Structure 1
Amino acid sequence: MAIWSSTRKSAGKASAIQQALHGDVALLPQAVLADFIGEGHFNRHLRKMRRYYQQQKQQVVSLLQQHFPQNRILAQAAGLHLTMLIPGLKDDAALCQLNFHGFKLQPFSRYCFLNEPERGLVIGIADADEGRLSQLIPLLQSLLTKLD
């Protein structure tokens, strides 16, 4: 429990803040969390999840590029989302159709501050699995054929 003694002062400050904001805080969970972080388990977990989500993002980008080579796919290094630019897309109509089928995508134009924003969809990938993506691909293909 060497970690506990070195983090006791910090835990005490955190406990005082928590107490002031929300009332009593159990000390045992705080001690366990302090040990978890101090022993490097949290950092190990973060590295594992970063690798997992990076692989997942690469798979989704690859799948979208395979099915929609005419559209630009933007994937930043950070974040659990990517953007598919779709010129001529009517954001509201597309989102209504996708939401009806249970997909919660965001319009790219919501994040643009230009007079004429680019059109596209922001796709969250945190819970993207192959089964769910195999449902999304035909819906997107249907939307894009209506644009042609």
Structure 2
Amino acid sequence: MYKILIIMLTLFAVGCARTGNIATPNPDEVSEITYNLNTDQNMRTWHFVNDDLTLRYSERDLNGRLISSNVRKVSPNDFNWLVTQFEDINYTKLQTRSKVVNSGFIGSQRSAAVAPETISIENLGGTYTFQKKGNIRFPPQLEKITQQIPTVFR
């Protein structure tokens, strides 16, 4: 009887001593960022993934053939710098004609692939895509960030 009581108390003590927390997903946490820049010579894509801090860069010719491609780790500071830039301009609340908001559901969604320049920020709340097309421009604060991506993340 005492052995059972000691075993139960031991299990209870071990269970209470665990300090591990279960992570609760933050709906505003940025999971992926994709920046596409299409010119008359090539199409370049920077794809940042928060889970493993990778940057996938690819460059294609106008026919879609791969010219160069690489995958590399981005430092947590660099990724945080990029995310902080978007959070500072409050990208989820930007009101602009260049914004296309896709909810988290799967279905038909407006495509932004034909725009010369697009940036997509994905979080648990959905995907926020901004596109430059014709006379539709990025908001000035977003323009500033997109100009820095090709130079900071070569």
> Normalized per residue, which structure has more helix?
1
> Normalized per residue, which structure has more strand?
2
> TM-score normalised to the size of structure 2?
0.29
Q: Which has the higher contact order (CA 8 A, sep 6+)?
A: 2
